[in-house]
Chains A and B, each alone.
Chain A
Amino acid sequence: MSRKNPNHIKNGSVAADVVIYAILLLLALICVYPMWYVIIMSISEPIHAQTLDVYLLPKGLYWGSYKDTLSDAKVWTAYYNTIIYAGVCCIGMLITCAMAAYPLTSPMLVGKKFWVIFILIPMYFGGGLIPTYIIMSKLGMYNSRWAIIFPGIVSMWYIILVRTYFATIPEDLRESARIDGANNFQILWNVYVPTSKPIFAVIAIYTIVAQWNSWFAASIYLTDEKLQPLQLYLRRLLILQQNLANQTQNGAGGTSDSEELAQKMILSADQLKYTMIVVATLPVMVVYPFLQKYFVKGVMVGSLKG
């Protein structure tokens, strides 16, 4: 009986296995193929990229569009800006998280309940786009790197996350350090920070990826191209140009001549666009498979809910 049963289940599930493996493969392809298509289009011979007959593998090999893209000084400026924003926000975020989370776990803090609520309220009730914009402008952050950095170095979520992690560290450690004469700064730096490296790794990675991919704040506050990050450059290239072409295509005044011109512009620009996507996205694409465990950990810790 017990030998027969497992066999029975197995027999019934071979067909099911094939179906399940196939569905999952299809889903994975849907996730990966668009990026793959962009990559092979970007390195195919321009002829093939224009006639759009590239589907599975690059046709020919052509680095011209990469040469064009990488010789554009604006791309490098945007790259530099993105790295600055991601780096500074990451470091700032780690510092403020550690600093703010520590007092919230200390039994000595007077008014702890008040400060916990102080941190929770903005998670429920936002200040709104326009008032935020007015305040930031009044503080002179319009068209300044601070518009990105200042809001980017504090997160209520991450403070709560770190606080939760800190709370698991035995109180004895703090007490014994205190008896040894250490002050709170020393305890935080020498006891709490070293034992909480995993959670800081999670926050660092989330912050960097979020900054690398963000565009909204920059589009509101940064009109100066010299300050704009990569994503705004991408937006101009991928979205705004396309919208413009779309308008001339659909516009009542559009003659067939200008329509053709617009069409041509889109076609030849496609390869450059795809190249720019690869240039901007490659760092994240290459790194994320190796950081997976941190992302998974982030989701898990986040779901534990303090």
Chain B
Amino acid sequence: MSTAVANKPKMSSEKKKMLFKDNLELYILLLPAVIVMLVYCYAPMFGYLIAFQDYTPGAGFWGPNTKWVGFYHFLRFYDSIFFGRLMSNTLWLSFLNLIWGFWVPIVFALLLNEVQHTGYKKCIQTASYLPYFISMVTACGMLISFIATNGLINRLIVALGGTAQPWRNIPGKFATIYVLMNIWKGFGFNSILYISVITSIDSSLYEAARLDGANRMQQVFHITIPSIIPTIAIMLIMAVGSLVNANTDMILLLYLPSTYETADVLGTYIYREGLTGGKFSFTTAIGMIQSIINFVLVFVANTISDVLTGAGLF
């Protein structure tokens, strides 16, 4: 920067030529990523226009034959019985996931930190990452097979004196299955950050505490936990940012028509009615609502975390 600025007032034609050549090269380097992003990220934003039209497949986003309908689709969605159900399912599933999911990695990291034996620690950690590497399709497939009426889980329940149930078909159980699945898949991997923050705590703090007679619990509560609270705060805020994005991938694989009433979220409804049902304009309007809420949440979350850390996400 300094050279460019310092030379600006009396820039020779040679310098100008250099700058031009430089930028030509730099822009060539930028080009591939920019093209992909223009097509895959920016053009679809322009495509939100069809939420205000009666779009017919094959037509352009804007043309002489475009039938504009204003906010018709938005109002139709707002008035439909799906609005309440989809909104509450989306928020409720994300909220439950946040409440139950965010503390498991923290507790896991705290427990792991108490293990002195390095080999044992390493093994446990490696095992805890395993579910993260299992694909969503495989994980859901395994789950479906395990919770089937003759599956592993039901046999365990029967062995313990309970009765086998078709868990996947019971609407009231979907949230539990969804949250447990998310925790199982992610807690090990999500603990990585906490573990490394805990490892980086100055060990002289513990020594000082021990000299003062602090026991193990006191050390955890007065040194370890206060040290990771900033990280916890940031992670929580970030999680709030994704509150309107329930895990569409997973729900699409797990839900059934019999559990739609509790499992259907904005993302799955758009997928079903839009791609399978061909209601392009209507579902684009729903998608736009979701994107806007999402944008506001992420923006607020980032701003708060900026203020808290002085750095923020970017």
Contact = CB atoms under 8 A, between A and B. Distances in A.
Interface in B215-237: 215-216
A154 B146 CA distance: 37
Nearest to B155: A52
A284 B146 contact: no
B239 interface: no
A228 to B, nearest CB: 12
B40 A154 contact: yes
Interface stretch (A57-65, A102-110, A193-201): A102-110
Interface string B63-95: 000000000000000000000000000000000
Interface string A7-26: 01100110011001101110
Nearest to A266: B148
Interface string A243-282: 1001000100000000000010011001001000100110
Given A238-B141, A306-B314, A184 B26 contact: yes
A96 B32 contact: yes
- Tell me whether chain A's interface is mostly helix, strand or loop, or mixed: helix
Contacts of A246: 168-169, 256
B114 interface: yes
Contacts of B133: 209, 213, 284-285, 288
B142 A119 contact: no
Contact of B33 (A100, A126, A184): A100
B167 to A, nearest CB: 12
B100 interface: no
Nearest to B295: A125
Interface in B37-83: 37, 39-48, 50, 57, 61
A126 to B, nearest CB: 5
Interface string A98-123: 01101100111110000100111110
A2 to B, nearest CB: 7
B210 interface: yes
A62 to B, nearest CB: 19
A106 B1 CA distance: 8
Given A220-B275, A250-B258, A295-B129, A38 B144 contact: no
A28 B291 contact: no
Contacts, number: 284
B288 A128 contact: yes
A31 interface: yes
Interface string A186-214: 00100000000000000000000100111
B314 A277 contact: no
A108 B23 contact: yes
A169 interface: no
A77 interface: no
Nearest to B291: A126
A32 B127 contact: yes
A296 B135 CA distance: 19
Given A135-B43, A154-B33, A20 B275 contact: no
Interface centre among B141, B144, B188 (most CB of A within 10 A): B141
B29 A184 contact: yes
A156 B210 CA distance: 46
B99 interface: no
A29 B61 CA distance: 53
Contacts of A100: 29-30, 32-34
A151 B142 CA distance: 29
A159 B36 CA distance: 13
Given A188-B29, A216-B248, A234-B137, 8 more contacts: A16-B216, A103-B27, A126-B41, A127-B45, A127-B47, A134-B280, A215-B136, A238-B137
